[in-house]
Structure 1
Amino acid sequence: MIAVGPGQVTLSDRRTQRRWSVALEPYELGAFPVTQAQYALVTGERPSAAHGARLPVEGVSWWDAVRFCNALSHREGLTPAYRLLGGDDIEWRLSADGYRLPTEAEWEYACRAGTTGPRYGPLDEIAWYRGNSRERIHEVGGRRPNPWGLYDMLGNVWDWCWDVYDAEVYGTYRVLRGGGWFDEHWSCRASVRRRSHPTFRVDDVGFRVARSGRR
């Protein structure tokens, strides 16, 4: 886990031409996407299409990611961040010290790591994408990290985030960030937002965990 200090980030959406700023409290974010080995250790499940202990887990829904966060919290003696209330109802307990998904503002702020361009470095050095992935997923940590020590923020697998994408238009669809191994270069940028239904499972979508800051 990488500690991220407080800050502010401006998000944007190309579809609606909207921009909005978010102030952030301190938090922690996983240096890597959750791997297949970690996912299997916590859940006993191996859902991925490709197989390898250090490959990012993929083929996991938003709900799978939420349940993993709670299971990991229980495993480490922490208070789970989420209360599952049945159906599509879920409560994020803001005071909990357990693991959770990052908000998309937390994700983008950490991805940028103080940089101001569309990416935190040359794409071929920092990301697995269609131009260099040979159309397959790769082990975590194989590309250069960003200035704060976070790997695979762009490329390899998209990261599920906590946020609803646009409730009025897309209902319960949740935000995805970062781009994946099958995406063209224009999808692997810090500002790009994608959406998916929280029950969908896709072979280029994974997640990384966050925790609210202790400082």
Structure 2
Amino acid sequence: WEYAARAGAATTFWYGDAIEELDRFAWYRDNAGDRPHGVGRRGASGFGLYDMMGNLFEWTLENHGGYTTSPRRGDGLRHEPVGGGFRVVRGGGWGFAADGARSAFRYVDHPGARHGALGFRPVVR
């Protein structure tokens, strides 16, 4: 997920480090008006992806935990932690502060959680 969100950049956001420019690229607490917005209304990343920052958190397959275990061969996912139940959500949401839209930001939710700031992104290989 983070590779796609960064779009080849090594900066805080795929467009650079300036948080002052975030309004052009993401919906978050300061500009969303307490609601989610339609897809593709902010600029696309260098990979042509929309809405990787802000608007809705996105489910990932990653279990919540530290980066202390090695990835599994071929998939980049960490080994299942003992007793792990929470999953990582990424991207930030319309009700979160601007720093939640950072490419590296991780948040957690229970797999059964359902709310208006959480979604998923289908990916086709």
TM-score by length of 1: 0.47
Match of 1:186 in 2: 99
Report the alpha carbon displacement of residue 134 of structure 1 after superposing the two structures with TM: 1.1
Give the whole-Å Cα distance in 1 for the aligned partners of 2:2 and 2:95: 21
Match of 1:163 in 2: 62
Q: Percent of counterpart pairs with the same letter?
A: 41
Alignment of 1:196 onto 2:109:
yes
* Residues 185-214 of structure 1 deviation map (CA, whole Å, 9 limit, x = unaligned): 111100001111101112100010123x4x
Alignment of 1:126 onto 2:20:
no
Report the alpha carbon displacement of residue 164 of structure 1 after superposing the two structures with TM: 1.1
Give the whole-Å Cα distance in 1 for the aligned partners of 2:14 and 2:62: 23
Report the alpha carbon displacement of residue 171 of structure 1 after superposing the two structures with TM: 2.2
Instruction: Give the secondary structure class of the aligned counterpart of 2:39.
Output: coil
Letter in 2 for 1:207: F
Alignment of 1:139 onto 2:52:
no
In terms of fraction of residues, the more strand-rich structure is 1
Report the alpha carbon displacement of residue 184 of structure 1 after superposing the two structures with TM: 0.4
- Which structure 1 segments of 5+ residues have no match? 1-106
C-alpha RMSD of the superposition? 1.3
Number of aligned residue pairs: give it. 105
Match of 1:66 in 2: none
Instruction: Give the secondary structure class of the aligned counterpart of 2:45.
Output: coil
- Which structure 2 segments of 5+ residues have no match? 16-20, 66-80
Give the whole-Å Cα distance in 2 for the aligned partners of 1:138 and 1:148: 21
In terms of fraction of residues, the more helix-rich structure is 1
Runs of 4+ deviating beyond 2 Å: none
Correspondence list, 1:1-215, <5 A: 107-121=1-15, 122-166=21-65, 167-168=81-82, 171-211=84-124, 213=125
The structure showing larger relative contact order (alpha-carbon pairs under 8 Å, at least 6 residues apart) is: 2
Letter in 1 for 2:54: G
Letter in 2 for 1:180: G
Instruction: Give the secondary structure class of the aligned counterpart of 2:28.
Output: coil
